[in-house]
């Protein structure tokens, strides 16, 4: 007899996993300027985030397909284990290249945490309950994200930046133990053939694409390789018995527009979380705690709006909420580009990031619910994962491109040594630097980040325009399985 899932404790396990991922997002953003000051290598700054996003992007659709073929539980447990291994390795990294590599291992695990968690919420709850649970998950994400920069700033100041990675261990271990004991599902028994060629082509194409957007003399041939690999992926998927990403699914207007919208707003979100702390510390001369406080309001506004969105979505419709949310994010990023200037007060960026979080909470919840209710159980994993995949790839591409833009701005000031920028962000806050050199470094960072913030605004505006193509809401599909 199949054991039934203990839903309350399973939900606790899922929330702990989500809390771990959310905590890591804001803790790392706050700590990275200090990490650069310790290990050097500011030229690798964006790659610490990009490596994480590359691996999580490449693996999201793979995890989603595996979850549909073999069940959600083993896939999620593997993701948690990989995330913890990567966290421990990051905590003991001794150089920036090593940290970049270990962040890739973290990303390998992260690719299986959020999409499979969201898929399980779709399995465990009917639409009305699911909308509420999306709000609960958003609240946990927000509270964890709020604690991240505050706790992270205290850890960096009182102990060491290494502990911001080791902080994941109690969350991950507790989440895994609860899921092992309380989540019981009847995985499909039929024989399946995993689409290995499709996974390899998609992974290679995405990695090449991400390297290509970094620019440089190798960009053109690498982008050509990316185009060839992605074209090969499409050719394989059309002929695969069980494709990794069913093209028929991606061809549906709702999922296609949601994916495009998610990619654009994902780029805006990840780049804001990455580059705003750098602005606060490198241009305004703030501490790690102040850098964290600049992005913390985003993860306060997000859960509040997510809770509201989950409650009112069945009444007002997914399409309307998505458009309203994306309009708010677009306006917020334009405001950020206008206020992010040397000498700006602390409250300007905080108000802007709070409103950005409100927009994300409204739009993200509505889009996920719309996609999940448009498919049956057998496609819910890959449909949810595809939504996460495009949001993450948008973030990775945005970080790669805007990281290259910032690096080019620093190089354009030929009298600004790269090492000086790293020292400006270190624990001594550039005290040992010549005052004139410190001023030039800060000015070069300000110029480069000004261009970066306007590029972020362009991504958010494009996301809102894409949302205008969303189709009318459809009737829900996919009942909750009786045996979970």
Look at residue 150 and tell me if it is in a domain.
yes
Look at residue 375 and tell me if it is in a domain.
yes
**71 by DSSP, 3-state: which?**
coil
Cα separation of 419 and 411, whole Å?
12
What does the pLDDT read at residue 99? Answer: 86
For residues 249 and 234, membership in a common domain is answered with: no
Find the mean pLDDT for residues 450-454.
Answer: 90
For residues 20 and 38, membership in a common domain is answered with: yes
Cα separation of 151 and 299, whole Å?
14
**21/132: higher pLDDT:** 21
Look at residue 372 and tell me if it is in a domain.
yes
For residues 251 and 366, membership in a common domain is answered with: yes
Look at residue 473 and tell me if it is in a domain.
no
Residue 479 banded pLDDT, cuts 50, 70, 90: very low
The CATH number of the domain holding residue 151 is 1.20.1250.20
Structure tokens at 187: 């995985």
For residues 237 and 252, membership in a common domain is answered with: no
For residues 418 and 367, membership in a common domain is answered with: yes
Instruction: List the one residue out of 87, 119, 100, 10 whose CA is nearest residue 371.
Output: 119
pLDDT digits (tens, 9 = 90+) for 392-423: 778 878 877 887 787 777 776 555 555 555 55
| 300 contacts 146 by C-beta, under 8 angstroms | yes
For residues 217 and 251, membership in a common domain is answered with: no
Cα separation of 467 and 24, whole Å?
29
Look at residue 190 and tell me if it is in a domain.
no
pLDDT digits (tens, 9 = 90+) for 189-220: 555 667 778 778 888 888 888 777 766 677 78
Look at residue 2 and tell me if it is in a domain.
no
What does the pLDDT read at residue 360? Answer: 87
Range of the domain at 387: 7-184+242-467
What does the pLDDT read at residue 264? Answer: 93
Our CA angle for 405, 410, 413, nearest 5°, is 130
For residues 234 and 334, membership in a common domain is answered with: no
Please determine, for residue 481, whether its predicted confidence score (pLDDT) is greater than 50: no
Cα separation of 196 and 163, whole Å?
37
For residues 102 and 175, membership in a common domain is answered with: yes
For residues 337 and 458, membership in a common domain is answered with: yes
CA-CA-CA-CA torsion for 149, 150, 152, 157, nearest 10 degrees? 130
**Mean pLDDT across the chain:** 78
State the total domains in the chain: 2
Find the mean pLDDT for residues 371-379.
Answer: 72
Cα separation of 190 and 461, whole Å?
45
pLDDT digits (tens, 9 = 90+) for 148-203: 666 776 777 777 778 888 888 888 999 999 999 888 877 555 556 677 787 788 88
Look at residue 287 and tell me if it is in a domain.
yes
Residue 331 banded pLDDT, cuts 50, 70, 90: very high
Distance set, CA 31 to CA 27, 162, 228 (Å): 6, 9, 38
For residues 311 and 207, membership in a common domain is answered with: no
| 339 contacts 355 by C-beta, under 8 angstroms | no
Residue in the block written with tokens 């090969």:
232
Best-predicted range by mean pLDDT among 105-109, 384-388, 435-439, 475-479? 105-109
For residues 71 and 168, membership in a common domain is answered with: yes
For residues 83 and 163, membership in a common domain is answered with: yes
Please determine, for residue 114, whether its predicted confidence score (pLDDT) is greater than 50: yes
Cα separation of 202 and 229, whole Å?
7
Cα separation of 49 and 38, whole Å?
17
Look at residue 280 and tell me if it is in a domain.
yes
Helices of type H across 287-417: 288-295, 298-316, 318-339, 347-372, 377-412
What does the pLDDT read at residue 173? Answer: 93
| 187 contacts 71 by C-beta, under 8 angstroms | yes
What does the pLDDT read at residue 89? Answer: 92
């Amino acid at each position: 007899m199949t054991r039934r899932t203990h839903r309350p404790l399973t939900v606790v396990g899922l929330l702990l996993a989500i809390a771990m991922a959310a905590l890591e997002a804001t803790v790392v953003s706050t700590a990275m300027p200090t990490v650069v000051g310790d290990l050097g290598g500011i030229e690798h700054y964006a790659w610490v985030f990009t490596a994480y996003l590359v691996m999580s992007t490449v693996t999201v659709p793979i995890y989603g397909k595996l979850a549909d073929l073999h069940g959600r539980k083993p896939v999620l447990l593997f993701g948690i284990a990989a995330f913890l291994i990567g966290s421990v390795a990051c905590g003991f990294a001794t150089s920036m290249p090593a940290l970049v590599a270990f962040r890739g291992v973290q990303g390998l695990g992260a690719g299986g945490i959020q999409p499979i968690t969201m898929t399980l919420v779709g399995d465990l709850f009917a639409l009305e309950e699911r909308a509420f649970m999306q709000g609960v998950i958003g609240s946990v994400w927000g509270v964890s994200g709020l604690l991240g920069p505050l706790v992270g700033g205290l850890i960096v100041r009182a102990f060491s930046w290494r502990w911001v990675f080791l902080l994941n261990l109690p969350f991950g271990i507790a989440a895994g133990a609860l899921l092992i004991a309380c989540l019981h599902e009847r995985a499909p028994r039929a024989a399946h053939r995993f689409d290995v060629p499709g996974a390899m082509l998609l992974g290679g194409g995405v990695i090449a694409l991400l390297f290509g957007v970094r620019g440089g003399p190798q960009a053109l041939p690498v982008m050509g390789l990316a185009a060839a690999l992605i074209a090969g992926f499409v050719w394989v998927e059309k002929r695969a018995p069980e494709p990794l990403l069913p093209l028929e699914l991606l061809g549906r207007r709702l999922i296609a527009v949601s994916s495009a919208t998610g990619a654009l707003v994902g780029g805006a979100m990840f780049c804001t979380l990455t580059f705003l702390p750098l602005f606060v510390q490198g241009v305004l001369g703030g501490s790690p705690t102040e850098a964290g406080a600049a992005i913390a309001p985003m993860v306060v506004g997000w859960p509040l709006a997510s809770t509201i969105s989950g409650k009112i979505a069945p009444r007002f419709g997914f399409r309307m909420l998505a458009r309203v949310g994306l309009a708010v994010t677009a306006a917020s990023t334009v405001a950020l580009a206008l206020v992010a200037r040397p000498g700006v007060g602390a409250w300007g960026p905080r108000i802007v990031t709070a409103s950005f979080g409100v927009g994300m909470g409204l739009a993200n919840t509505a889009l996920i619910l719309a996609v999940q209710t448009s498919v049956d159980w057998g496609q819910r994993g890959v449909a949810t994962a595809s939504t996460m995949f495009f949001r993450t790839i948008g973030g990775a591409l945005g970080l790669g491109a805007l990281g290259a833009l910032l690096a080019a701005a620093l190089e354009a000031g030929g009298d600004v040594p790269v090492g000086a920028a790293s020292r400006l962000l270190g624990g001594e806050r550039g005290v040992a630097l010549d005052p004139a050199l410190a001023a030039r470094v800060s000015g070069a960072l300000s110029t480069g980040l000004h261009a970066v913030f306007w590029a972020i605004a362009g991504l958010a505006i494009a996301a809102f325009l894409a949302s205008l193509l969303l189709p009318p809401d459809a009737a829900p599909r996919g009942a909750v399985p009786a045996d979970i």
